[in-house]
Amino acid sequence: MSSNMERAKEWLRREKQWRANNEPTDYLDIAISALEKQMPKAVDDGLLNYSNLPISRCPICSSSGISPYKDRYCYNCGQLLKWEDTWNRRTKES
């Protein structure tokens, strides 16, 4: 699925370059942005809270308080979150 999204994003970027001289391309920027939000990004958990536990943050907008138990998307910006890397790191540290 991700490779299809990558191809679609690349096609939209090429389409934007081709149309840039002839017409407005704002709609293509919106489409690219929406497509990028559907591509999972790894959660940032480099900070620790007062109990020395990792704080999970969105990799795009840095909103904190997201949880692997309830949040598939960032509640602030809508980015699809990828929790697998976070779980693998936490498991190895334990």
pLDDT tens-digit series, residues 6-60: 999 999 999 888 888 888 888 999 999 999 999 999 988 777 777 777 778 899 9
CB 47 within 8 A of CB 57: yes
* Total domain count, the chain: 2
Domain, as residue range, for 58:
40-94
Query: Both 19 and 44 in a single domain?
Result: no
Query: Both 34 and 54 in a single domain?
Result: no
Query: Both 50 and 5 in a single domain?
Result: no
**Cut 0.75: pTM above it:** no
Query: Both 19 and 46 in a single domain?
Result: no
Query: Both 31 and 13 in a single domain?
Result: yes
Please state, in angstroms and rounded to a whole number, the distance separating the CA atoms of residues 66 and 12.
31
Query: Both 25 and 52 in a single domain?
Result: no
